[in-house]
Amino acid sequence: MRKKGFVTAVLIIMIFLLLIPLIPLPNETAFAQEGASVTSVEETPAKATFSAPRLKPEDYPSLGWVNSREAVWVAAQLHLFFGALVLAVPIFVLVIEGLGIYKKDERYDHVAHEIMKVSMTAFSLTALTGGLLTFALVILYPDFFKYIMQIFQPTVIFYVLAFLGEAVVCYTYYYSWDGLRYGTKKWIHLTLGLLLNTFGMSILFLADAWTGFMMTPVGVDASGTPTTDNIWVFIRNPFWNPLNLHRFIANIAYGGAIVGAYAAYKFLSSTTPEEKARYDWMGYTSNFIAISALLPLPFAGYILMAEIYAYSQQMGITAMGGIFAWLFIVQAVLIGVIFLGANYYLWCGMGKISGSERYTPAIKYIAAVIVFAFLVWLTPHTIVMTLKEMKILGGSHSPLLGPLGIMPAKNTAANTMILFTFLSFFLYKRANKVSSLPWAGSGTIVMKAFFAVAWANIIFLGIYGYLVPTAFKVRASVPQVLSTLSVVLVLLVIDSLMHRKAKSLGPVQWGKMSQRSQYALFLLAVSFTWLMALMGYIRSGIRQHWHIYTVMRDASSNAYTPAIGHAVLIATTATVIFMVLVIFCFWIAQISTIKQKALPEMEEASALREGRGE
Amino acid sequence: MFKLIVWVVSIVGSILYFYILDLLIMKSYFGAALGLNLFPK
């Protein structure tokens, strides 16, 4: 028992160690100001004398038929997709491996090992696309690349070292899996996993510093000349921590979705019940991780957008109220698809659990609520209309649906979807258990009442948002989020206490899963990827005609905001290329398990050699 | 009867919890006096 406690404590410490860089430090630069070129750290004058180059269109090299912006766009997007995958996989491989020790269940270890196998090819492709992006930047945007490297020169060496460390530890971690499997050696292996994650996170955070600086530059004056020699000022720009947090959580969700797709692919191609059971379990575990990370993701996104607004209201309004606002409607559709897909997968999965029939009638109500919330989320504030249509409607806003287009309605819908997706997970988790404790009935009533009142509070705060000034409206979203989190916490605590000595209604029949449920996992992976491409475009596109917002102007012929249709086409192209490459990764992992049967003459020759005693 | 009491206590307790939660957030943001200033002008 003591050993179990020790293992849990070490595991928790390991996970929390990964989160340390996300903790914001007290620094004046965190409070961004309107007007970008500011530094709030008073120091001795900087020694650096360079400034951001003032470019002309002819300063940009051209490769003829290649559109520079789109080439860099696709290369960066592909690098980001693979980077997200290979940074996420070691995080949850470490967690799954640790769970395997804690639960003394070798299934966890096998799955963790297999997931690493899939991501090994992805590691090479990450490096390849990273190289492609660097070449594209050096060749097509040399002046910009030179300037940003001058600013971040001291960090580049750490980036390279972290990259080398990542490569060395990654291969050691993977190939030593069977050699360091049990006892103390397993702890050495876990430490390698932790080290791998440390390198991975360092790479992410350094890259985020560069990206953040392009969005919210600090430590330079209006001409781009550094006003400080303190590199920390540039790194810790206002966008850095929100981006770190958002990408950290999103990467886990994304990695889970891609591994879920791999499990679905293996499940559908499995021929034996054992294999089906194994990949069904893997699909469930990956989906569980993906959705667990997805639930807090909208809140991290909210922090990120709040920081953009705090830095530059203009940039915030461009994102949420200008041309990019329509992409947020597409985002709502994709997130709705993800939530519906994840719920559908769970509802299908309940069929393999004895006792789940108790909860089957509730599914249709959960589905109805999620669909309704989904419809509210995707309702636009205004739509593009002809004059005739406007006359019929009586203005540019629908009198009936117009109010659903603003944030209080969206926040209420998002929290409702999260709340009811959690409910699906919750019912799935307790489907085959019956508590034998005398207070179980009262505990269930408490949970039902708490859930209902929390939802009522979320709806109340949503309606409240319409009746008060904007500042109150925005702030009302915070207690909404806390209401959702309270439900998650309270229900999980009461439920785990209730089911301490629970009676099982039968084992989970892994593998007894419909084929169509697996397509929900594919849907999740594709939706996540596409969503990342579209939202990534918004994040980058709101800089508009600036390489570095308000500091270094993009003077190239591509410095315009493309039409939504065109932008979606490019994002979709990157998504399709990535999907093809991911299928290649799956295929490589598959063929590594195939062994060709020896030819008859080879077998005969071996038999002869053995007969002669050679 | 016992079941009814549990329902009533749970609902009242939950309402109190969320009332205090909303109150604390609004207070921490706006420094409002205790007593939720529900509809500020």
* pLDDT for B37: 59
Q: How many CB pairs below 8 Å do chains A and B form together?
A: 56
Q: What's the whole-number mean pLDDT along residues A2-12? A: 65
Report which of A193, A209, A200, A289 is spatially closest to residue A242, judged by C-alpha positions. Answer: A209
Q: Do B17 and A469 touch (CB under 8 A)?
A: no
How far is the C-alpha of A224 from the C-alpha of A143, rounded, in Å? 13
Q: What's the whole-number mean pLDDT along residues A188-217? A: 94
For strands A433-434 and A503-504, give the pairing: antiparallel
Q: Any chain B CB within 8 A of the CB of A470?
A: no
- Show Cβ contacts of residue A204 under 8 Å, excluding neighbours closer than 6 positions: A83, A87, A244, A247, A248, A251
- Furthest-apart CA pair in chain B: how many Å? 45
Query: pLDDT category, B21, cuts 50, 70, 90?
Result: confident
* pLDDT for A159: 93
Residues of B in contact with A483 (CB under 8 A): 18, 21
How far is the C-alpha of A347 from the C-alpha of A338, rounded, in Å? 14
Q: Is B28 left (phi over 0), alpha (psi -120 to 50) or beta?
A: alpha
Query: pLDDT category, A45, cuts 50, 70, 90?
Result: low
Q: Is A53 left (phi over 0), alpha (psi -120 to 50) or beta?
A: beta
- Show Cβ contacts of residue A612 under 8 Å, excluding neighbours closer than 6 positions: none
Residues of A in contact with B31 (CB under 8 A): none
How far is the C-alpha of A338 from the C-alpha of A325, rounded, in Å? 20
Tokens of A45: 């004058």
* Higher-confidence position of A345 and A500: A345
Q: What's the whole-number mean pLDDT along residues A221-235? A: 90
Q: Do B21 and A486 touch (CB under 8 A)?
A: yes
Cβ(A420)–Cβ(A366) below 8 Å: yes
How far is the C-alpha of A22 from the C-alpha of A155, rounded, in Å? 18
User: With 80 as the cut, is the pLDDT of residue A19 above it?
Assistant: no
Between the alpha carbon of residue B33 and those of residues A474, B27, B37, the distances in Å are 20, 7, 8
Per the prediction, chain A carries an average pLDDT of 87
Task: Please tell me the distance in Å from B4's CA to the nearest CA on chain A.
Answer: 10
User: With 90 as the cut, is the pLDDT of residue A548 above it?
Assistant: yes
Q: Any chain A CB within 8 A of the CB of B37?
A: no
Q: Do B14 and A453 touch (CB under 8 A)?
A: yes
Q: Tell me the pLDDT tens digit for each residue of A232-270.
A: 999 999 999 999 999 999 998 998 999 999 999 999 998
Residues of A in contact with B15 (CB under 8 A): 453
Q: What's the whole-number mean pLDDT along residues A493-519? A: 88
Residues of A in contact with B20 (CB under 8 A): none
* pLDDT for B39: 58
How far is the C-alpha of A366 from the C-alpha of A528, rounded, in Å? 22
Question: Among A295-304, A381-390, A496-505, A564-573, which range has the highest average pLDDT?
Answer: A564-573
How far is the C-alpha of B35 from the C-alpha of A606, rounded, in Å? 89
User: With 90 as the cut, is the pLDDT of residue A590 above it?
Assistant: no
Query: pLDDT category, A3, cuts 50, 70, 90?
Result: low
| Percent of the residues in chain A that have a pLDDT greater than 70, as a whole number | 92
* pLDDT for A606: 85
Question: Among A24-28, A77-81, A89-93, A460-464, which range has the highest average pLDDT?
Answer: A77-81
Q: What's the whole-number mean pLDDT along residues A537-555? A: 92
Q: Tell me the pLDDT tens digit for each residue of B8-19.
A: 999 999 999 998
* pLDDT for A538: 93
Q: Do A472 and B40 touch (CB under 8 A)?
A: yes
A3-7, A494-498, A526-530: least confidently modelled range: A3-7
Q: Tell me the pLDDT tens digit for each residue of A507-532.
A: 888 888 999 999 999 999 999 999 99
User: With 50 as the cut, is the pLDDT of residue A552 above it?
Assistant: yes
Q: Tell me the pLDDT tens digit for each residue of B23-38.
A: 877 777 665 544 455 5
* Higher-confidence position of A567 and A384: A567
The residue behind tokens 């939802």 is A455
How far is the C-alpha of A195 from the C-alpha of A94, rounded, in Å? 10
